[in-house]
Structures are given as structure tokens and as C-alpha cells.
Structure 1
Amino acid sequence: MVRSGGVLFRKYGNFIDNVRLYVKGGTGGMGLPRLGGQGGTGGDVWLMAKNGVTLKNIKDKFPNKRFIGGTGGNSSVHSLKGQPGTDCQVSVPPGIAIVTGDGVKVGELDKEGEKIRVARGGLGGSFSTDFLPSKGQKRIIHLDMKLISDVGIVGFPNAGKSSLLSKISHAKPQIAEYAFTTLKPELGKIVYSDYKQISVADLPGLIEGAHFNKGMGHKFLKHIERTKHLLFVVDVMGFQLSYKTPYRSAFETIQLLTMELQLYNKELLGKPALLAVNKMDLPNADQKFQQLVKQIENPAESLKLLPDDMIPDRPIEFKYILPVSAATGQGLDNLKSCIRKSIDEQADIELRELTQERLQSLQTESSQTVKRNLKKSLPRADH
């Protein structure tokens, strides 16, 4: 962690919200000229939404990311109509948009069980085609997580999330002095002096056990998957949901929030994240903030005091740690500036990765072309 201009910086990982696939329908089967037989059609490539699947699963399980339908059966004396090729079905997460390599939207999959054909198999050979089959459709497609916002605000109830959103954007969320004011995502836009806009979502407040579907549970956690960046908002004085529940310090609050994300989907911990420590206008807030910063920088001693079920496998890597007050406006301009920096820096990273991927793809294609041409130019051995 490094400090610059009163703001704390930390490195962060990448959350996979886009995967590039090569899809190709199967080639049709050969027809049988002397008996007028027709070859079978090639298999199609389908995408089907399935809960529990992530884009990272697809990337890890299928490193070459190529999906091809089966070849149609040839027509024969015993079967004049060839058997159709086997369809290729790929399980994908719900909540994705499918876009072609040139930016044309193919469709969306929002609920488990929904499916869409992304490559059609070729027709089998028949009389009209001189009994020669056609090749299947082939193309590059991108699977994109459908985003509800650029930034998702994460925090326990009454951390001041709605107040913060109302101060940094044009949103007018419901605000009250009781938990669960926000029952559905409230969307706002931060508008900068150069007219750039960044969308921010105030998401329903988590409680301990949300991964078990307590409180807003999975409805909340599902929304987090649809944001590019996370903005953790914690009360500098700590949090207590009710007199029946234990008091949690700001440091404990961060660990509990991180655990809820981890237990729902570990990939969420790789999203770019910022931390806004709210209510800095309260008495002794500066002292509490400095204590929190020390705990984040050197968490070992503080973590020893926590039970195992409150300690995540790895901490969230906050890029910025910012003291703010939604009530007085303290630190809000700096917060908006850091949100902009984080968004721009991540966009630069993604652009470099995409450029590198395209260069590697072009180099591979070029190498394969050279090998094919060299093979054709070599003299054939006489038998």
C-alpha cells in the first residue's frame, strides 16, 4: 500500500466479465448420387444459461475457447438420409449479452434454462447441391456480463450509502434512519466537467448470512456481479443491525462484507474496489479512521481476534481508501475523482489486454499460413 495526496492506494485484481469464443456449426454429410440420398445436417452450437457457471469457469475449462458442432452423417445404401450431427451446447452464466466480433448483438440470456443458437450447422448434400454438403456457420462471439452500472456501492444497512449516492450523483434515493431503506438498486450518474458520465448503483444493504439468502440475500449479491467496480461504504464508528446482534467495528465490517462476497462467488473479490469510510463528521472520527488504516495495512493482529468464519481467504485489495462525510460533503470531490481514475485505469488495462490478445491471434494465424504455404511448395515424394 502507498500513500499519495492523502489517499491510500492498493493494487487490485481483475474480474472476468467478457470472454471471446470461436463457434462453428458442423459440416453437413455427403449425399449419395446414384440413389438420390441426402446427407445429414451439421450440428448447431447453442449457449444455455445455467446457474453457478461463471465466465471464468468457461475460460479455465476450455482454454482454446473453440466450440464446434458435430459433422452430419453421410447418406448410404442403408440410410439414404444421413444422421444429423451432434449439437454442441455450452453452459454460460445467466445475465449475459452475446455480441459478434464486429459488435452486432446476437441476443441475451437472463434466466436459467434460456438458450440461443450462435452457429448453425451446414446442410447435407442433396440433388440440388450435386450431393455436396455445405460448411457450418462460423464466427467470433463475445460473452459480456450485462452491467447495471459502472460502480456498485456495497455496505451494511445504515452505512450512509443512499446519502452518499444522492450527494455524488443526480439520483434521489429514499433515505431514512432505519435499516433496509433501499429495497432495489437505485441508479445515479456522476457527471464530470468534460461531460463524461459514470453510472453508480446503490445496492440493497447486506446483512451477515446474505450468502445463505438472509435479508436481501441473493437478490443483492446477483446485482454485484453486474457492476464493473465496487465501492465499499462503511461507518467509521462501526455497525450494529439491532440490539440483538453484535456490534462490529469498521474493520470487522469490511471482513464480514468480504466474506459474504467470497461465500457467494470468489470471483467478486477480483473486482477493482474502493473504500469510502463515511461519517467522518462524527466526534473522534479521525482517530477511528487512522486506527482502521493501520488495521488494513497490518491486518494480522486484528485478524487474530476474529473467529475463523469472519476471516476471508484473502482481503479485498482496495485501490483507494477515502475518508468522507455524506452529511457535510467532506472528501466527496476527491471520491468522485478517484472513481473516475479507477474506471479510466481499468479501461486502459482492458484495452492493452485486448490488443495483446489480437496481436497473438494474428501472429498465430500468420504462422499457420506460412506453414501451409511451405508445405504446398515442398516437392512430393514419388511412390
Structure 2
Amino acid sequence: MFVDQAKIYVRSGHGGAGALSFRHERGVIRGGPDGGNGGHGGDVVVVALPKVATLIALRYRQHQYAGNGEPGQGRNRSGHGGAHCIIEVPVGTVVRNEETGAVIADLAEPEARVVVAHGGRGGKGNAHFKSATFRTPRFSQPGEEGEELTLRLDLKLLADVGLVGLPNAGKSTLLSRISHAEPKIADYPFTTLQPQLGVVELDTTRDFVVADIPGLIEGASEGAGLGHRFLRHVERTATLLFLLDAGPWADPDAATALTILEGELAAHATELTTKPRLVVANKLDLVEGGALPAALVAACAARSVPLFPLSCATGAGLAPLLEALWEQVARHRQGVAAGAATPPAQPPAATLDDGQTGS
């Protein structure tokens, strides 16, 4: 089961109290203070690990506690520190304060970690306060209390290409053709109920990850359908791939579908409007002559967005599409390596095997 959101309550450990103690031994008159310090409380730490795929474990363990520090003892014995609470999450998890909504950390790298609640400091024993002029301190410090808060964890999948489209546009079929992913494929809307990842391997040195999210419908950004729950999974991608049904029975038509998708992405996050993108007209094997819809050609030309004709059923048009995707992914990776993710240049349009050209 894929779970990409969780809300948990965390509390760090309380510090142990310092000891109030004096040395008592046979033959020792007026032994000095020997109260040890209390141990520090344990921290609550969130760490991103590649071995963790979803947040499902935290759905059933919604309360996380670190250990308390032990109190100090006589003979200058300090208490043991409390055990840290380590919360393992998938790479790509965003940690937020549920009450304020503030982002505490974005754990986008393997082994990235953040202390979300610091343990309380242990109190000082009375031996700590002894001095040349103050030989018999009769007090010690209590330990500090730990911190507590409620966290919201949001997983954003790490993928290079975000595959978006209306229900039944052929996204799962495309993912199964270009990768080893095995998504559920059927001839009805909302076949895909959770995000799917697939690794595309062009050759031994070129590969990238494609994320397929459930189909969007108009109003998704306001809660309609299923896709709105998963829109955040395309926020980290290098490029977006709009897959449109350009078949003769498409409803809505491909040009209208493009407008709907762009509107929903913009309503979810304005930064998505500046991401590089490709538009793919699918199901052209059902169109006589494989002709592209004139309205879609005009819409893409007006946006200066390349249009790729495709048939997921036959595989026609796949090769130029994958090369164009790799070009954008490679440019993005080069930009990230250089310290600034330079937006990839838009590639030229492609042609179907029969010579049909998109613009």
C-alpha cells in the first residue's frame, strides 16, 4: 500500500535530575558534595533512507517518544542519557510543523536527517556547584523537560519526468512500454489509484525515472477526483510530459485537455508553470493517416511547446520522444551539478514513423 502522507506526535526525552548527595564513609568527617549530573534526554530524529518506500509504518505508529535521561547519583555518578528516537522515512519527505505549517526540513538526499525535537538537558548535581568559598551546596538542578510537537510528513517522489494526463489517456500503457514497471492497465478511467515509478534505460549510460500519477480531472486542484492528492509528486521533476488522448473519440478533445491540465497544475503550484514540458498526442493509430488534431497543433505552436505524435499501442514515435526526454533530463542534471538547475531548452518536435510532423 502506497502511503505518502502521515501525521505524528513526537516528544523528546526529559533530562534527568541532578543528585543532591554528600560523601558518607567511615572515617570521613564532613564529606563533601558528590551528587552527579542527570543524563540528557534523547532527541527525536527524522532520517531519510532509500530502503523505506512509503510512510505506511507511521500510519500505525503515530506517537513517537525518545527516552528520558536517568537521574544522577551519589559518588559523582552521572545518569545515562535517554535513547534517541529515530524515525525512518523515504527519501523525498518534507517535514512540517502541523500547527504552524512551517517546513522544518526537506529530506531530498539519502541519509539526510534533522532533529525535530531536542532532548532536555540533564540537571547539575550539587557537586557541580562546589567551590572554594561554597563547600556544601545543598541543592541540585532538576532536568529540563523535552520538546513535543505534531509533525506532518509529505512524501514527494524523486523522479526526472512527471507524466500527467486526464484519466484513460494511456499513461500506464506508456510507462509499461518504456520501463519495467507493471502498472494496472484497463480500459476505464482511474485505473491508476496511486503513483507509479518506472526507470527508463536508453543504454548502459543513460537512464532516468518517470513518475506516473493518477489521472487529473477538471477541478483536481480543488479536490475533485484522485489526482489532486498526488500533484506534489511532480514538483521535483526536471520536466513534465503531458499525455493527451488524440483519438477520434476523445472527450474532451486534446487541445481542451491540454488547457485543463495546465490550469490544474498552475492552481496547485505556480512554479509548475515554468517547468519545461513536452506534449504527446497519443492513440494516433486510431486516426486515419495518423494526422494530428489541428487545434492541438495550433495550441502547442502558440505555447512554443514541442508536440510529439505517439501510439502507445504500436510503439510508433517512442524513440524520438525518449531521446527528447533524455536531453532535458541531462541538461537539468548538468545544471544541478553546476549549482543552479538551468531550465532545459525545448527540443524540436518529432515525427511518427509515417512522417507525420508535430509543431
> TM-score scaled to structure 1, two decimals?
0.50
Which one of the candidate residues 268, 274, 277 is aligned to 1:270? Answer: 274
Pick from 287, 302, 310: which aligns with 1:324? 310
Correspondence 1:248 to 2:222: no
Q: Deviations over 1:73-131 (max 9, x none)?
A: xxxxxxxxxxxxxxxx99644882066xxx86224xxxxxxx7269x99xxxx979xxx
1:155 aligns with 2:159: no
Which among 311, 325, 332 is matched to residue 339 of structure 1? 325
Tell whether 2:236 aligns with 1:222. no
SS in 2 for 1:275: strand
Deviates more, 1:347-356 or 1:146-155: 347-356
In structure 1, the residue matched to 2:209 is 199
Q: Write the letter of the residue equivalent to 2:181.
A: A
Q: How does 1:158-197 map to 2 (within 5 A)?
A: 158-197=168-207
**2: CA distance, partners of 1:355 / 1:168:** 26
Aligned 1:1-383 pairs, distance under 5 A = 92-93=102-103, 96-97=106-107, 105-107=112-114, 116=116, 146-237=156-247, 247-284=251-288, 286-298=290-302, 318=305, 320-354=306-340
Q: Distance in 1 between matches of 2:341 and 2:329?
A: 18
CA distance in 1 between partners of 2:270 and 2:211 (Å): 21
- Residue-by-residue CA offset, 1:313-334 (whole Å, 9 max, x unaligned): xx6x74x421111011111011
Cα distance in 1 between the residues matched to 2:164 and 2:103 = 22
Distance 2:248 2:158 in 1: 29
Q: Give yes or no for contact 1:147–1:228 (8 Å, CA) kept in 2.
A: no
Question: Counterpart amino acid of 2:112?
Answer: K
SS at match of 1:96: strand
Q: What is the identity, as a one-letter code, of the residue corresponding to 1:348?
A: Q
Amino acid in structure 2 at the alignment position of 1:216: L
C-alpha contact 2:170 2:245 (8 A) present in aligned 1? yes
Query: Cα distance 1:188–1:98, how it changes in 2: closer, same or farther (>3 A)?
Result: closer
Q: Deviations over 1:138-162 (max 9, x none)?
A: xxxxxxx853322121000111111
Decide whether aligned partners of structure 1 residues 96 and 295 sit closer, same or farther in structure 2, where only a CA change above 3 A counts: same
Matched residues in 2 for 1:228 and 1:117: separation? 33
| Matching residue of 2:353 | none
> What's the counterpart of residue 9 of structure 2?
none
After TM superposition, give the deviation of residue 286 of structure 1 in Å: 4.0
**1:287 to partner: Cα distance:** 3.4
The 3-state SS of whatever aligns with 1:153 is strand
Distance 1:280 1:352, change over 3 A: same
Letter in 2 for 1:116: V
The answer (yes or no) to whether the contact 1:186–1:202 under 8 Å persists in 2 is yes
- Structure 2, unmatched stretches of 5+, are 1-43, 47-96, 122-127, 131-154, 343-359
Same amino acid, percent of matched pairs: 36
Q: Distance in 2 between matches of 1:285 and 1:215?
A: 34
SS of 1:328's partner is coil
1:6-49 per-position Cα deviation (integer Å, ceiling 9, x unaligned): xxxxxxxxxxxxxxxxxxxxxxxxxxxxxxxxxxxxxxxx999x
- The answer (yes or no) to whether the contact 1:47–1:92 under 8 Å persists in 2 is no
> Using the alignment, how far apart are the partners of 1:162 and 1:236 within structure 2?
16
> In the TM superposition, what is the alpha-carbon distance from 1:171 to its structure 2 partner?
1.1
SS in 2 for 1:149: coil
182 and 191 in structure 1: CA distance in 2 versus 1, 3 angstrom threshold: same
Structure 1 residues without counterparts, runs of 5 or longer: 1-45, 49-88, 108-114, 129-144, 241-246, 299-314, 357-383
Contact 2:231 2:265 (8 Å CA) reproduced: yes
CA distance in structure 1 between the aligned counterparts of 2:287 and 2:157, rounded to whole angstroms: 38
Q: Distance in 1 between matches of 2:176 and 2:232?
A: 23
TM-score by length of 2: 0.53
Matched residue count? 235
Distance 1:238 1:289, change over 3 A: same
Determine the structure 2 residue equivalent to 1:24. none
